[in-house]
Structure 1
Amino acid sequence: MIPWLQNPSDSFPPIEQALDDPNGLLAAGGDLSPERLISAYRAGIFPWYSPGEPILWWSPDPRCVLIPDQIHISRSMRKRLKKKDYTVVFNRNFAQVIDACSAPRRGEDGTWITNEMKDAYCNLHKKGLAHSVEVYIDDELVGGLYGLAIGKLFFGESMFSKVKDASKIAFIKMVEQLEKWGYALVDCQVSNDHLFSLGATEINRREFQLYLDQYLDEIGQTHWQFGLPADQME
């Protein structure tokens, strides 16, 4: 059995109590208030659930992460980046990015990004904690991602592509900027081949906790200007 969060004052259990099967399931219930979400991410926890389910909270072990200076850019991807037929922009249209991320993937019927989730992360965006990275071709949004920046850690949430390589372009340009800003880690949550191809790796929960302990309260870069092209970021 996992704990049920009934009241706003209920705290998350220690992440070491997360289940092995399903991997990382820690608690259920609660809400998606900014306070609850910030508390979750600071503890290494994130929400993930399907429509009709209670809010489920997770902290998997191992954890998929990427250290910014270890990003892998393939030869073909380098050629794609050099074309520069795209523009990468930070925080121009967060709501549109999360809408695009919520669209069902090929072969899937639904999405885990519910309207409740959209509203919650848009609220975090208004508070300057959630950010979007957007790729435009001919002024059309064709790819991007969103996540949270706390201290010198970035917690990635979801990405999308409407054309080939668009999400990779967004991810690479964001990571390059995070490295300039001195960020220590990008939390990718759960591994997949797409992330591994970009240089992501897996670390155990104890190592991930060390990153949280060391970098959450570091003074992170505050120059996530709204609507600014990536090549103009300081």
Structure 2
Amino acid sequence: MNKDVFFSSSTVKNFLNKLSYYLKSLPNDDRYRHIEEIKSELYEYALELDASKSVNDREIPEDVVNNFAPPKVIADEITEEYKDELGYYHKSNNNLIKYYTVFSIATLGGLSLPILFGEMNISSSLPLILFFLGSNIWFVSNRKILWNHHLLHYFQKMIRFCASALVALPLAFFAIRIIITSKIELFTLNYLIAYLTVTGCYLFFLTMMYRRNKQD
């Protein structure tokens, strides 16, 4: 059976995608190595079925997958070998991401204060801007993050929280500023628009990072 035809089957693709997802707790190199080993086993069995002529070519992919253990069972057996090695590292990795999301979102939230005060204090805002940029540069450049399903679930919750909090907060400050001054100030309005634009871009960035790592 042709290799490209076999691996283009939706049944085989779905099996391998699930396996890759459940192996996200492993470093990328190890994960890819194990997936390649499973792919070789799948194709070897497909060739055996093809040679025996006991199964129609179109039924081979489904028959092969049905004769293998479910992806989660295979992944659990593989990750068990790494349990001791990765236990501490996973905890440390998850904590780093939690610190990043909490402080990054808190920093961006702090940058909405000029809406309430009606002016921007460069000396107090600059450290927040630098911290926000630095934390996101670290996040993008960090290749050691292990995107297991627990971390992906946490990251998804933080995106939802960010979407509500970072939109509600500046709008609330804007409303309070109007009540205090009894007018709409040009600086406050422009800053609100700029802030919501940056927040929208940040949310888009977080969502793209989540989707990319979920699919890998």
TM-score using structure 1 length = 0.21
RCO comparison, higher one (Cα < 8 Å, 6+): 2
Q: Which has the larger radius of gyration?
A: 2
TM-score using structure 2 length = 0.22
Structure with greater helix share of residues: 2
